Amino acid sequence: MAILKLYNPIMTEEGAEMMRWCGSDGVCFKDIDEFLASIASDDDTIDLRLHCEGGSVTEGWAIYDRLRQTGKEITATIEGNCASMATIILLAAPKERRRAYENAHICIHNPWLCPWALGDAVTADDLQKYANDLRSEQERMVSLYVERTGSDADELQSLMNEDKYI
pLDDT band at 103 (very low <50, low <70, confident <90, very high): very high
Count CA atoms closer than 13 A to 14's CA, side-chain side. Answer: 0
Closest CA to 76 of 46, 32, 112, 43: 46
Residues 6+ positions from 90 with CB-CB distance below 8 Å: 48, 50, 76, 78, 82, 98, 106
| pLDDT on residue 6 | 97
Q: What are phi and psi of 16, to 5 degrees?
A: -65, -40
pLDDT single digits (tens) 35-93? 999 999 999 999 999 999 999 999 999 999 999 999 999 999 999 999 999 999 999 99
Give the relative orientation of helices 29-37 and 57-69 as an angle to the nearest 10 degrees: 20
pLDDT band at 114 (very low <50, low <70, confident <90, very high): confident
What is the overall mean pLDDT for the chain? 94
| pLDDT on residue 153 | 97
Contact by Cβ (8 Å): 10, 56: yes
Distance CA 135, CA 160 (A): 12
pTM beyond 0.85: yes
Residues 6+ positions from 120 with CB-CB distance below 8 Å: none
| pLDDT on residue 29 | 96
